[in-house]
Structure 1
């Protein structure tokens, strides 16, 4: 009885394997690339103060931070576009001199939506007493729209490639997409600073200057598509 059941299973599996037909397919990679000029910037600045007493370190830090926040508001930047990202208050101890001090640090991020205010804002931020420009990242207010278009372009490119390949095959054409895999990425330009922002000032105010090179945002959408061949 067991042999009969085993034989039936083997016969059924063989019949099923014969019935499954391999569907003709073609897999291609499509790319959509868009370059965009930024119109916004994310700026991160740091305020650091050192004092012998913890209260003094914090008070000095608060004074500078207050100047920074007042300047930001003066520039017409909305309260929703700036915030304190990080605050710290630490003790340092010098074992050689057996003395200690306290370090207060505060990082403030600013979402600048009008790049025409960039140069003036950066220079005035330094005048408030900040210690460091932590980073500047250029953005686009319409990045989602551009990424969407890049994805569409990538699919169009993939379909065009598939049609090119199949065009030399007799009796076949590209059918429906069976599988789509997305591997998109966006590259943002970042300026490099050799020191404090005061170095941005020209040696001679009489000469015309360009202090901001925003570069381009490069949006690359890469898709892997498998089409059925009909």
Structure 2
């Protein structure tokens, strides 16, 4: 029995030594950031239609009529069927405390994707006349997003390695192999800044009206990296 125990101890010693060595390997943990800025060339517009009536059927019909008009408006701008869709539909009973009676509220949300940002002003010019009651948001995008994200990842890793090199070089040591990478990224998109559509806001009465400031998309990749120290 003692011989068996001795053999097991001898067999497990290399494993224990390897684990101990792994746990005591000198290492450095640093953060890295890669940032790419790009002017958007696409956008996604979220539009809302709402109608209220004394009964559900009337509210729903009023809403359906407006949505039908809006869809025709979207199609008139040569936007493909694949680039717009309904994202939310609701119909509910609501109590009006001021009038002390119930009514029914119908609503629908549509999302329109413009692959060419140049179509934005023309599309938005008369959208409210089509029956839209809410413009819930505009999200700017880039057609080269995936390519730019890859570029930002590379910059983040190079930034992390440079930081690690700066630290260990001060102690006459070197950065070793990569041990761990954690991606803490979050994409940051600009918000549109609207301007009043009046002649006073233009350089002159004949100048084209500017209704939105595109800004830039900040594609930011943040990583937490661990390197061995040699």
- Aligned residue number for residue 190 of structure 1: 191
RMSD value, Cα? 2.9
Kindly indicate whether residue 44 of structure 2 is the aligned counterpart of residue 42 of structure 1.
yes
Which consecutive aligned stretches of 4+ in structure 1 deviate over 6 angstroms post-superposition? 4-19
Query: So what's the TM-score if we normalise by structure 2?
Result: 0.83
Rounded to whole Å, the distance in 1 between the matches of 2:110 and 2:58 is 20
- Aligned residue number for residue 210 of structure 2: 210
The DSSP-based 3-state class of the residue aligned with 1:45 is: strand
- Aligned residue number for residue 197 of structure 2: 201
The DSSP-based 3-state class of the residue aligned with 2:127 is: helix
The DSSP-based 3-state class of the residue aligned with 1:228 is: strand
Equivalence map 1:104-183=2 (5 Å) = 104-170=106-172, 172-183=173-184
The DSSP-based 3-state class of the residue aligned with 1:186 is: coil
Rounded to whole Å, the distance in 1 between the matches of 2:17 and 2:132 is 75
Rounded to whole Å, the distance in 2 between the matches of 1:69 and 1:108 is 9
Give unpaired runs (5+ residues) of structure 1: 194-198
Deviation string 1:78-131 (CA, Å, 9 cap, x unpaired) is 111111111122223446755433222111111111111112211221111111
Give 1:16 deviation, angstroms: 7.3
Deviation string 1:51-80 (CA, Å, 9 cap, x unpaired) is 233322222211111111011111111111
Label 1:60 to 1:175 Cα distance change in 2 as closer, same or farther (>3 A): same
Equivalence map 1:94-113=2 (5 Å) = 94=96, 97=99, 99-113=101-115
More displaced, 152-161 or 49-58? 49-58
Kindly indicate whether residue 63 of structure 2 is the aligned counterpart of residue 61 of structure 1.
yes
- Aligned residue number for residue 33 of structure 1: 35
Kindly indicate whether residue 220 of structure 2 is the aligned counterpart of residue 224 of structure 1.
no
Deviation string 1:19-38 (CA, Å, 9 cap, x unpaired) is 74332222222211111111
Query: So what's the TM-score if we normalise by structure 1?
Result: 0.83
Rounded to whole Å, the distance in 2 between the matches of 1:16 and 1:94 is 74
